[in-house]
Amino acid sequence: MKNWISPLILIAAAPFWASHAHAETVDVSELSHIHGVAFLPEPWSGIALATHNGVYLVDKDGQAKLASTPDDFMGFSIAPDGRLFASGHPASGGNIGVISSTDGGATWSHISDGAGGPVDFHAMSVSQVNPSLIYGLYGGVQMSMDGGASWVERGPAPEQTIDITAGSSEGQLFAGTTDGLMESSDHGVTWSRIGPAGVPVTAVYMDTEGSLYAYYVGAGLLRRGIDGKWEEISVPVGEDVVLHLAAGNSDGDDLVAVTQKGNVLASMNGGESWAPFGQ
């Protein structure tokens, strides 16, 4: 893999130990090496950020508190019922496998080593239509149909894949790559291209309503609605790029974007305007 893309595939990881004495609260702007983001449902609210040094819970005022041991969270995703899934590396070295949290990231449990593991998924995605269906990227594409308890290898991912997201129908999977946006209809066995070639897509995300988001380097953030039409969403990142996206409600009004430089931006009006999260 080319050196320039390596920071783009650092996406999240997590520890399976219980929460312990954590660092004091810091402003979200002080966090770096962010590898994943998810809106947390009630009763927790706010967002969870998976980082190189653990999972942080960020309240609506932008205050972040470490909620895990300080491990490297590389793969990170949330199920429709609020369960968090992650993978990556413990601070002591090695691979974590697959872990899960049912309390908003405060505690984590090891649920599987993955296929041929323990794995360190560099990207994960839980289906929004089937919460038992989870995909992970570890060399190729792995799939679980039982909530992460067991995994099978499906096929090779597209070359230089950066991000993946499960689609709105069974078997549908999208991959953002250095050569554009790819789609699979058979759980990652075969792939076809969507849109232009040669333009890196650094973030892909499918919301609960079936809208697909893709960030094209040099072109910006695009959203394809359930009607199949694409629209541009202006995100003020300048020379930076978006690496992670999350939607906080079913109508797509609440959005969070995390950039390669660690900026966390929020929109409460479907992307019409943005501000640093918590402001």
Q: Where residue 8 falls among pLDDT bands split at 50, 70, 90?
A: very low
Secondary structure in 3-state letters for 219-260: CEEEEECCCCCEEEECCCCCCCCEEEEEECCCCCCCEEEEEC
What pLDDT score was predicted for residue 20?
39
What confidence tens digit (pLDDT) does each residue in 150-209 have?
Answer: 999 999 999 999 999 999 998 999 999 999 999 999 999 999 999 999 999 999 999 988
Give how many domains the chain has, as a whole number.
1
- Statement: residue 13 has pLDDT above 80: no
- Residue 219 carries which side chain, given as an amino acid letter? A
* Residue found under tokens 């909620």: 67
In Å, how far are 19, 35, 58, 124 from 45, measured between CA atoms?
Answer: 18, 20, 9, 22
What confidence tens digit (pLDDT) does each residue in 225-244 have?
Answer: 988 899 999 999 988 999 99
What pLDDT score was predicted for residue 271?
86
- Statement: residue 21 has pLDDT above 60: no
| CATH number of the domain that residue 231 is part of | 2.130.10.10
- Statement: residue 142 has pLDDT above 60: yes
- Statement: residue 214 has pLDDT above 90: yes
- Using CA atoms, how far apart are residues 116 and 223, in angstroms rounded to an integer? 35
CA angle (206 as vertex; 276, 107 as ends), nearest 5: 70
What confidence tens digit (pLDDT) does each residue in 97-119 have?
Answer: 999 999 888 889 999 999 998 99
- Residue 127 carries which side chain, given as an amino acid letter? S
What confidence tens digit (pLDDT) does each residue in 44-66 have?
Answer: 778 999 999 889 999 989 999 99
What pLDDT score was predicted for residue 252?
60
What pLDDT score was predicted for residue 204?
97
Domain enclosing residue 51, as ranges: 3-276
- Using CA atoms, how far apart are residues 227 and 165, in angstroms rounded to an integer? 19
DSSP-derived letter for residue 219 is T
CB count within 10 Å of CB 209 equals 14
- Using CA atoms, how far apart are residues 138 and 123, in angstroms rounded to an integer? 8
Q: Where residue 92 falls among pLDDT bands split at 50, 70, 90?
A: confident
What pLDDT score was predicted for residue 106?
81
The three-state secondary structure class of 145 is: coil
End-to-end Cα spacing for the chain: 37
Among 10-24, 46-60, 177-191, 245-259, the minimum mean pLDDT is found in 10-24
- Using CA atoms, how far apart are residues 12 and 128, in angstroms rounded to an integer? 19
Q: What predicted TM-score, i.e. pTM, was given to this entire model?
A: 0.88
- Using CA atoms, how far apart are residues 184 and 138, in angstroms rounded to an integer? 17
